[in-house]
Amino acid sequence: MIQSKLQHLNTLLDLDRSRLEDVLDLAAAIKREYKSAGASDALKGRTAAMIFEKPSLRTRVTFEAGMVQLGGAAINLDPSQISLGNRESVKDAALCLSRWVDAIIARTFSHKLVTDLAKHATVPVINALTDLHHPCQALALGQTLMEKRGKLTGLRLAFVGDGNNVANSLAELAAQVGMHFILACPKGYEQNPEVLKSLEPYFKRSGGSYTVTHDADAGVAKADCIYTDVWVSMGEEAQAEQKKKQFAGFQVNSRLLAKAPAECIVTHCLPAHLDEEIAQEVMDSERCVCFDEAENRLHAQKAVLLTLIDGGKPAAVVRGR
C-alpha cells in the first residue's frame, strides 16, 4: 500500500488523538494475534534500517524482532561506520537510505538528528529515543494501562523523578488522551518549558491536566499509576553523585507507595538502578507492571511499523491475508 501522505514518529504529537488510539488498538490486536497464531507476513519483503547511537536492549530487540515477526527484516547500522554528520551529511544518508529501505529507526543523543533525518527522508523515520523524547515508550505504557485499567482518559499518572525524555513523552500521551499528569521532582529538575508550552492546547482540548510538585508524597496521593526512571540518564554520568543526593527523597519504595491508592500500579521504562529510583521490594511486587510494559514495546512498535510503513491495517488482516 502506498501512503497518501508520508508520516514520521518524531514525537507523540505526530499522531493526532484518533490515530494514536488506532495505533494502541492495533497493538492490542497484534498482541492477541501473535499469542494465538504466531508470526505474520504483513510486512513481507519490507526492510527497516536501525541507527542506534545509544546502548539498547529493549528497543533494539523489540524493533528487530518486530520486523521479523511481521515478515520483514531489520538492518542494524553501526553509527561509528556511517558517522552521520561527519563522514557524510545527514541529508545524503537519509536520501540514500530512502532508496533502499522502507523505514529508518533512529536512537540518538541529539533530537535534532532525528528531526533532520525526517526532514530529508522519503520513508518514515521513527524516533527510538533521543535526549528529548521517547514516544515508543509512551505508546507501550498506553497499551499497558489499557490492559490494566481498561481506559486512559481520566487516569492520574504520577511521574516521580527527573523531568527527562521519558517524562516528556508520557506528558504528551496524557495531553492527547485526557489523562492527568503529575511530575514529582526536586526543584531544578522540571521538564523542558518548550515541551510543556506545546502541550497546553492538547490538555485543554482533551480535558487532561498537568501539575508539577516538589513533594513526592503529594504527587502520588491520588495516582492510578506511578512511573519512574533512572535519575542519571545516558550522557549524565558526571552528575551521578550530585543527582543521587538531590533525588534521595524521590525513591519509589514501600513508604511512598503507601501514600498512593491501594489499586495504584507502578512501572519503570528499564533498565532500573535498584534501590536508587526504585526499591527492590517494589520492583518485585505484584503492583509493578514494568515487564508487562517491556513486553508491550514489541507489539506497540509493530503497530507503529504497520501504521507508518503500510498505512495501518484493520485488526482482522494483521496477518497480511
What's the rounded Cα separation, in Å, for the pair 17 and 15? Answer: 6
Residue 290: active-site member: no
From the list 8, 107, 156, 299, the catalytic residue is 107
Provide the grid cell at 52.
542506534
From the list 69, 137, 176, 191, the catalytic residue is 137
Output the DSSP codes for 217-282: HHHHTT-SEEEE--SS-TT-GGGHHHHHHHTGGG-B-HHHHTTS-TT-EEEE-S---BTTTB-HHH
Among residues 80, 86, 73, 74, which one has the least CA distance to residue 54?
80
Residue 288: active-site member: no
Residue 225: active-site member: no
List 288's β-bridge partners, or say none: 266
Task: Give one word for 83, left, alpha or beta, with left for phi > 0 and alpha for psi -120 to 50.
Answer: left
From the list 134, 156, 180, 299, the catalytic residue is 134
Using the Cα atoms of residue 232, residue 238, residue 241 and residue 242 in order, give the sign of their dihedral.
negative
Q: List CB contacts of 305: < 8 A, sequence separation 6 or more.
A: 43, 48, 63, 66, 67, 70, 72, 103, 126
Residue 107: active-site member: yes
From the list 136, 185, 264, 269, the catalytic residue is 269
What's the rounded Cα separation, in Å, for the pair 108 and 130? Answer: 5
- Cα 74 to Cα 65, 66, 100, 231, 241: the distances in Å are 8, 9, 12, 32, 38
Q: Known catalytic residues?
A: 107, 134, 137, 229, 269, 297
